[in-house]
Structure 1
Amino acid sequence: MAYAPAGNSKQAIARLREFGYAFNEAGELRRIDAYTGRPGDKPFIFEISKSQAENQAHYEKLADQIPEIVYELLERNGLSRTYIPLGMPPDRSTFIFTSALKGCKKLLVLIHGSGYVRAGQWARSLVINNSLDHGTQLPYIQRAQKLGYDIVVTNTNDNDRTIDGQSMPIKGVENAHKHAAYVWKHIVMPAKPESVAIVAHSFGGLVVRDLAEEYSDFFREKVFAIALTDPTISTAPACCKKYFLDVTCNWVSSNKPLDAEVARAHASEYIKCVSAGHPKHEWSSYSAMESVIKFIEDKYEQRVHAK
């Protein structure tokens, strides 16, 4: 897709230009050409000073503009903001992105890792240094939509708001676990999806395990595939161990080729592990995408034939 600027991200794009950068049509962050005023060929440069602190501060300020740009792209792909907790004003709530969700047959839930990433991102370093396709969930969303999935994009790191000059936790979604549980209870389950798949990266794996423990009956009935990309867990929840191991695969960072088995001692006790096809943690979601999508679709076919 094209990544031309528009809409709600206009201010963020303007701030990016103040740093001397813009995204080109391929979604790559490039230095603005002084003659044309358009993105040129030069990529982002981290070292702008001899001071490491100044370099990092510059990077953080530039990275702060990324979320709004990604949010707009999610909206351009047919997703809408749903503010949570439900009924709270926007300035005292966070938000997720969803498709219509009414009577959905297949639902894909995306859960990012911890840190600075927000809804729609896997790794902001890849957004900045490679492209929006590499670092965001957009390729997953577009592929899933073509396969007939409705989408829920969580925002588990957005847990506080500044009120009267003070940072205050958003009641009911104060951390990643509570955020995900709220989304599951108030958004996912009321949608009454026939079948649910999950893709979770890094700390998102622990979030999924907590969800499976809290909503084990729903998981057993509805969640047919759980794809984890280099997660912070390796074992299944005790309450639904056999089920969880049956529906879950873990793509770990590795020098081995994509899908090559990564052996573990006492393999029957652990989630199945295969290579994500890249040795770096932050690349795992992007590099494993084709395999993840195939895994989910194969699991769905098994589910259909089992009925």
Structure 2
Amino acid sequence: MNSEEWYDTGTKTTFHFDDNGMFVDSNGKGPQKGFKNNGKFSDWLHNLVVNRIKKLGLIEKCHPENGAPIYHTSNAFNSPEKLLVIIQGTGRVRAGVWSVGVCAYSGINAGSVLPDIIEAQKRGMEVIVLNPNDPRSDIFMTRYRTNLGMIRHTLAVFEDLIIPSDPKRVFILCHSLSGECTIAMIRRFHMWVIPHIKAVAMTDAYESPPIVEGVKMTSWSKQHFHNWICSDKEINSPLPEGTASIHFSAGTKDHSLSTAKARPFIWPFFDENGADKETDELDKFEDYIGDDIYINPIFHYIPYCNIA
């Protein structure tokens, strides 16, 4: 059995991803009852996805040297014109995987970041894939006053690598609890964020109010953040606003599937904000000095985080 195949001890079956990205056996059937979606399978899947990420030209970099590995295109830290930052949700997923279960039952394209990297590269964007669930984020425990390793990892990568590399326009794709990682980042680095971040696409993501004293951060974020949340409403139909974003239906009640369902609408949203353009206008920080008039204290969406 090669590294592209997985032998499941529960069903006594060997699986692989076919040309359409579906996880199937030699007869073209997917996992059946008894399939073991366990830690060994998730480790194999992660290694496979990382290998495919590298085949797309991304490079592994540990931050710091004894820290968590992240993955980036060759010019991601060389003042790129357009940069996509991908942040996974919480749970056992590592860099490159949105959901282990979705990869197994709905295909690697639905459950991984591979299609997002390809879409970014079509637009001439550089890409960075974060690794927020790696336990080595404890390295930054004394540096950032938060008990969430995901947030520590995100803040450190932005502060140490992304911001100093001076990307011109930044786009963020985040899922689940990485929405809060993004909110923490925009609060902490708000003076840099406003003139650099063009759009944030969130999928069934947690979002607390992005309040910064003396800065209209909520007004700014609602112009740049879309959150596709779990709902039985028609996909992409408008929903009541969130605390930091404009909400749309992901067209599913399945939290783990929200990114795959929203993907056909995420990239048009990015393009509306200049992802498909060589250059584009940027916001000015001074235009957002002052206090927010409108903050929604009621609709504070917390997703159902059963990460498969």
**If the length of structure 1 is used for normalisation, what is the TM-score?**
0.79
Compare 193-202 and 181-190 and name the one that shifted more: 181-190
Compare 138-147 and 273-282 and name the one that shifted more: 273-282
Alignment partners' CA distance in 2, 1:126 and 1:110: 18
Would you say 1:69 and 2:52 are equivalent positions?
no
The match for 1:23 among 17, 23, 43 is: 17
User: Aligned in 2, Cα 1:105/1:306: closer, same or farther, shift over 3 Å?
Assistant: closer
The match for 1:209 among 168, 180, 183 is: 183
Which residue number corresponds to residue 172 of structure 1? 140
Which residue number corresponds to residue 86 of structure 2? 110
Supply the RMSD in Å over aligned alpha carbons: 2.4
User: Aligned in 2, Cα 1:103/1:236: closer, same or farther, shift over 3 Å?
Assistant: closer
Q: Is the 8 A contact 2:239 2:248 kept in 1?
A: yes
Q: Which residue identity lines up with residue 70 of structure 1 in the other structure?
A: V
Q: Is the 8 A contact 2:81 2:169 kept in 1?
A: yes
Alignment partners' CA distance in 2, 1:25 and 1:221: 41
- 1:241 is displaced (CA, Å) by 2.0
Q: 1:1-307 alignment to 2 at 5 Å?
A: 12-13=3-4, 16-17=6-7, 19=9, 20-31=14-25, 39-47=26-34, 59-85=38-64, 88=65, 92-100=66-74, 101=76, 102-160=78-136, 170-172=138-140, 175-233=149-207, 235-239=209-213, 240-264=217-241, 270-300=244-274, 304=280
Alignment partners' CA distance in 2, 1:273 and 1:18: 39
2:163 counterpart SS class: helix
Q: Is the 8 A contact 1:236 1:245 kept in 2?
A: no
Compare 108-117 and 227-236 and name the one that shifted more: 227-236
Alignment partners' CA distance in 2, 1:306 and 1:209: 20
Q: Is the 8 A contact 1:235 1:271 kept in 2?
A: no
**Which has a greater percent of helix?**
1
Q: Is the 8 A contact 1:13 1:65 kept in 2?
A: no
1:75-102 deviations in whole A, cap 9, x for unaligned?
01111101111xx2xxx42210001222
- 1:46 is displaced (CA, Å) by 4.1
Shift >6 Å, 4+ stretches: none
Alignment partners' CA distance in 1, 2:208 and 2:101: 25
Q: Is the 8 A contact 1:250 1:271 kept in 2?
A: yes
Higher relative contact order (CA 8 A, sep 6+): 2
1:226 counterpart SS class: strand
Identity within the alignment, %: 22
**If the length of structure 2 is used for normalisation, what is the TM-score?**
0.79
- 1:270 is displaced (CA, Å) by 5.0
Unaligned runs of 5+ in 2: 142-147, 284-308
- 1:170 is displaced (CA, Å) by 4.7
Alignment partners' CA distance in 1, 2:260 and 2:61: 26
1:246 counterpart SS class: helix
Alignment partners' CA distance in 1, 2:187 and 2:100: 30
Q: Is the 8 A contact 1:117 1:124 kept in 2?
A: yes
Unaligned runs of 5+ in 1: 32-38, 49-54, 161-168
Alignment partners' CA distance in 1, 2:156 and 2:33: 38
